[in-house]
Structures are given as C-alpha cells and as structure tokens.
Amino acid sequence: MTNSVGGKNILTSDDRKAIEELAYGFVKKEIQSMFSHAGADGDLSRVPDILEQGARIGLLAEHGREEAGTGVWGTTTLSEGPALSIGLLKIISQTCGGVGACFHAAGLGSLAADMIGLDIDGRLACIMPDFDDLHVMPCLTDAETAYGRSSIRCDSTDAGHVIKGRKEFLLQSGRTTSYVLIVPAKAGNTYAWVAATISASDDRLKISNIQGQMGIRAVSINNIEIDNKYIDKQYVITINDKDYRYIIYAYHLIGLTAVLTGIAKGAIASAIKYARERYQGGDLIIKHPAIRFLIAESEARVMAIESMLEGVSGYARGDRSGDIRGLVKYAAALKWFGAGECVRAITDSLQVFGGYGYMEDYGMEKRLRDGQTLKSLSGSSVIHRHTVIDNMETLP
C-alpha cells in the first residue's frame, strides 16, 4: 500500500482514502454492533476482540505486527506525522469515544517502543511519570529535575536498574501485555531519561482499576505501582534524544483531542438526524433558529478544532518538522482549547434532543460523559496553559 521514498513510507491520497474506507467499514461492522443489545456504554466485554480485529486488519499499531504500520500510531507516523492517526481516531470515535481512546492508548504504546527500537511485541501501554507540580509536565523537564520530583524513577548501578514508583490515571486498552516506561534515572551523580519495559504479569507490578469513571468506560483507567523492579542493563535504553519524550507527550495530547473531535462530530451528526425527524410548533425542529444556531455553532467549533489538528500535523512536515517546542506548545493548546470546544459542541448537540438527550436512548448522554472525561484526562487546563507559555518562542 505504501511507497518507499528515501527509506520512508509515504502514503498516497488513494492509500489514505482506502484506509479510511476500511475504518468506516470496521466501525459499522464491529463497533456499532456493540450497542445493539446493551446499555449506554455498549457491550464492554467485546472491546478486547475489537482491538484484536483492528490490529489484524491494520487499523491499530501493534509492535512487531507488520500489517499495522498504517494503523493508529503505526510506523507511518514516523515519516508522515500524526495526520493518518488523527483521521482514524476521529472515524472510530464518532461511534464510540471509549473505543477510540483504546485505539489511541494501545497505538501510542506501540509507537513509543517503535521510536527507540525496544525489543518487545504485543499490546503495549506507555507510562510517563506524574509530577508533584501544578505547572510543568515531567516529561518536558531535564532528567535531574524530573528525578527529584517524579512519581516513578530509576536507580542505576553497574549491575542493572531498579525502577520504583507510581503512576495514576493511566489509560489502558484491553489485554495489555507490557508497559513501556519512560522515566528519569540516576547513576551516581549523572542523570538521564531511560526507557524500559515491564510485563503486565510481573509480580512487582500492582495494577488497580479506577472505580466509577464517568465516561469512556471501554478503556480502563488504572493506577500502577512498581515495587523496586530490577531490570537487567541490556533491557534499558538511555534516551539521548529529548525530542522523543516531547513527541510522545505531544502525540498523546493530539490523540486525545482527535478522539474528542470524533465524539463531537458524531454528536452533531446525531443532532442533525434528530432535528430532521422531530416536530415542534408544527415544524421540523431543524427549521427553528434556536436549533439551527446550536448545530451551526457546534459545527463551527469542530471545524476550528479540525483546523488546529491539521495545523499540528504540519509540525511533522517541511520547515516545521524540527520545531519540537512549537509542537509541544501547539499540542498543549490543542488539548486545552480543543477539549473545551469539543465538549461545548457535544453539549449543544445534546440540547437539540431536549429531554431525550438526557436519557440513554440516543447515546447523547454517553457522548457527553465521554467528552467530559477526556477533557479532564492527562493534565488539567491549568497545566496545559503553563505548557503553552513555557514553550512560546519569545521566551528564552
């Protein structure tokens, strides 16, 4: 499907179209049927199989799986940037934001391993540490600062490495086999960022599921605790390229916003369909200015965020490809601003349904719960605002 130019896989527009058609067919066959006989959140027991099927037909990256290079966060991301993943996540999330978030989490774990050549196959999840600060994301700081204040750290000796700590609110898709850890490490008086993997079945790893999450219930949100896990030297890679952490972080925020955008697009499509069927005051409600404004404003919000997503994709191409701080700034602004606009579009679309929007019947309340959860995930707007200003070009 791909052409190779200078060792990189390049997708043609026909390739993209074919992949997107594949995604639409997959959504119709696998994801829509999740909701046929179940409650608002669908038949969640089917999610692992949906992911497996997605990886098998090439829609979801899975490390070591050749056919998934063009899937969500597949290896084509390395040459083409996030545009294809954004498009796929939007298509999937129009029907179910939770499944979209699963694809994002699993795909990003695979990409994190791909980018530094970690020798691990299977379904991966990527872990970056939390920080004890309201202002800075840990992965954006130098190793020494991060080591002192990170929730997970690595102590290195000649014999090997010991990793310990805790990560809260980790997105994790069904049947994760291993975790990719990106953590600050200390060896004597020197500090570095390192990457390592730990098996999901390791007895030094404790996983506890967050109970009672508001939305995106297809994806597990877990707290992870690592109790002094010894890892042999040969399985730990020192990350000399700081861009790696920035890119993974940025792609995480971009992916979440793509999922949110997909949910909003699905909400608007449902609102239009409903407005064309429902009468009020003798007219279809699509003819009422109050309804038209709600839908038009929602559409404009989503168009704006799609433009931002298109813009951030540009950082992987041409002159902007080296501007990593610009990418981080853009991604943080996108998540903060985009999440707000997408949730606004979702809630306005729900309003079109009146009382029915509030019930499970039309799936709108689920969309709002999913959207609100994604909005709060991975850093509040406070942190993103600080990330934007800390990465502005005018600052030293």
Where on the chain is the footprint of another protein (CB under 8 A)? 39-40, 132-135, 149, 168-169, 210-215, 279-282, 290-291, 294, 343, 347, 350-351, 354-360, 365, 368-369, 372-373, 375-383, 386
The tokens describing 32, both together, are: 């829509």
Q: Considering the complex, state which of residue 214 and residue 300 has its C-beta at the smaller distance from another protein.
A: 214
The tokens describing 229, both together, are: 């896990």
64 and 197 in contact (C-beta within 8 Å)? no
Least distance to another protein from the beta carbon of 85, Å? 23
Neighbours of 24 (CB within 10 A): 13
Least distance to another protein from the beta carbon of 141, Å? 13
Neighbours of 300 (CB within 10 A): 12
CA distance 2 to 84: 13
The tokens describing 61, both together, are: 């990256």
Least distance to another protein from the beta carbon of 67, Å? 34
Q: Considering the complex, state which of residue 303 and residue 389 has its C-beta at the smaller distance from another protein.
A: 389
Least distance to another protein from the beta carbon of 281, Å? 4
Least distance to another protein from the beta carbon of 217, Å? 11
Least distance to another protein from the beta carbon of 385, Å? 8
Q: Considering the complex, state which of residue 113 and residue 219 has its C-beta at the smaller distance from another protein.
A: 219
Contacts of 7 (CB under 8 A, 6+ apart): none
Q: Considering the complex, state which of residue 91 and residue 285 has its C-beta at the smaller distance from another protein.
A: 285
Residue carrying structure tokens 């369909």: 273
- Burial class of residue 2 in the structure, from the number of CB atoms within 10 Å of its CB (0-12 exposed, 13-18 middle, 19+ buried): middle
Contacts of 177 (CB under 8 A, 6+ apart): 122, 123, 124, 199, 200
Least distance to another protein from the beta carbon of 210, Å? 6
Residue carrying structure tokens 């999440």: 339
Least distance to another protein from the beta carbon of 227, Å? 22
Q: Considering the complex, state which of residue 81 and residue 338 has its C-beta at the smaller distance from another protein.
A: 338
The distance between the two most distant Cα atoms of the chain, rounded to a whole number of Å, is: 80
CA distance 279 to 284: 4
CA distance 53 to 29: 11
Q: Considering the complex, state which of residue 235 and residue 356 has its C-beta at the smaller distance from another protein.
A: 356
Q: Considering the complex, state which of residue 252 and residue 375 has its C-beta at the smaller distance from another protein.
A: 375
CA distance 32 to 266: 12
Q: Considering the complex, state which of residue 291 and residue 316 has its C-beta at the smaller distance from another protein.
A: 291
Q: Which residues pair with 231 in a beta bridge?
A: 161
Backbone angles phi, psi at 295, to 5 degrees: -70, -40
Least distance to another protein from the beta carbon of 331, Å? 17
3-state secondary structure of 222: strand
Q: Considering the complex, state which of residue 214 and residue 392 has its C-beta at the smaller distance from another protein.
A: 214
86 and 309 in contact (C-beta within 8 Å)? yes
Contacts of 365 (CB under 8 A, 6+ apart): 40, 350, 357, 358, 359
Least distance to another protein from the beta carbon of 179, Å? 18
Q: Considering the complex, state which of residue 65 and residue 167 has its C-beta at the smaller distance from another protein.
A: 167
